[in-house]
C-alpha cells in the first residue's frame, strides 16, 4: 500500500476516533459544544474538501470531508441543545470568520487565501476558547488530546 493512502486512512481513523469521544461526551451531557465555532469549521472544511477534491487531491481530500460532516453535526447538536448563551462577541466572531471564509473563497492569490482562512479559523475558535475558560468541564479534553495526533498525522 502506498504511504499516502496509509497516511490518509490513519488520519481519518484518528479523526473519527476523536469525534467518537466528543460525541460520547455530548450524549452523556458532559460536553456542550459552541455551535458557532463548529459551524464555521464545518463550512471551511466543506470548501477545503471541494477545492482539494476538484483539484484531484484524492485520498487527501477525505479528511476534510469527514471533518466537515462531523463539525456540522456537532454544530447542529449545539444549536439544538441551546445550552450555550451567545453574546455579542460570539456574533462578531461568527460574522468575522464567515467574512474571512468569503474573502478566502473570492481570493485569487493562494497566499492571501491561506492567510484569510487561518485568520477565519482563529476568529472562529475564540468563542469556544472563551467558553472553555469560563466553563472548563463542558469541553472534552480527551477528544482534543486525540485530535493532536490527527493534526500531527495530517
Could you give the number of structural domains in the chain? Answer: 1
DSSP 8-state secondary structure symbol assigned to residue 139: S
DSSP E strand boundaries for the chain? none
Give me the pLDDT at residue 123, please: 81
Q: What is the DSSP string of 42-61?
A: HHHHHHHHHHHHHTT-THHH
Confidence (pLDDT) at 63: 86
The tens digit of pLDDT for each residue in 59-79 reads: 888 888 999 999 999 999 998
Q: How far is CA 6 from CA 9, 60, 104, in A?
A: 5, 11, 30
Q: Could you tell me if 41 and 124 are in contact, meaning their C-beta atoms sit under 8 angstroms apart?
A: yes
Please state, in angstroms and rounded to a whole number, the distance separating the CA atoms of residues 7 and 86. Answer: 38
The range of the structural domain enclosing residue 84 comes to 3-153
pLDDT in tens, the chain (154 residues): 688 788 888 888 888 988 998 899 899 988 888 888 888 888 888 888 887 888 788 888 888 899 999 999 999 999 898 766 777 887 887 777 778 778 777 877 767 766 777 777 788 778 878 877 887 777 766 666 665 655 554 5
Amino acid at each position: 500500500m502506498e504511504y499516502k493512502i496509509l497516511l490518509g486512512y490513519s488520519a481519518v481513523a484518528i479523526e473519527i476516533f476523536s469525534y467518537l469521544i466528543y460525541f460520547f461526551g455530548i450524549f452523556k451531557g458532559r460536553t456542550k459544544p459552541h455551535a458557532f465555532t463548529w459551524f464555521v469549521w464545518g463550512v471551511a472544511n466543506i470548501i477545503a474538501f471541494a477545492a482539494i477534491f476538484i483539484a484531484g487531491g484524492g485520498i487527501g481530500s477525505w479528511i476534510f470531508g469527514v471533518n466537515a460532516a462531523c463539525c456540522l453535526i456537532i454544530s447542529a447538536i449545539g444549536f439544538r441543545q441551546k445550552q450555550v448563551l451567545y453574546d455579542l462577541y460570539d456574533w462578531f466572531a461568527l460574522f468575522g470568520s464567515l467574512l474571512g471564509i468569503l474573502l478566502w473563497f473570492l481570493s485569487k492569490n493562494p497566499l492571501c487565501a491561506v492567510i484569510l482562512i487561518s485568520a477565519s479559523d482563529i476568529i472562529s475558535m475564540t468563542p469556544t476558547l472563551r467558553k472553555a475558560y469560563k466553563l472548563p468541564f463542558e469541553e472534552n479534553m480527551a477528544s482534543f488530546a486525540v485530535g493532536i495526533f490527527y493534526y500531527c498525522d495530517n
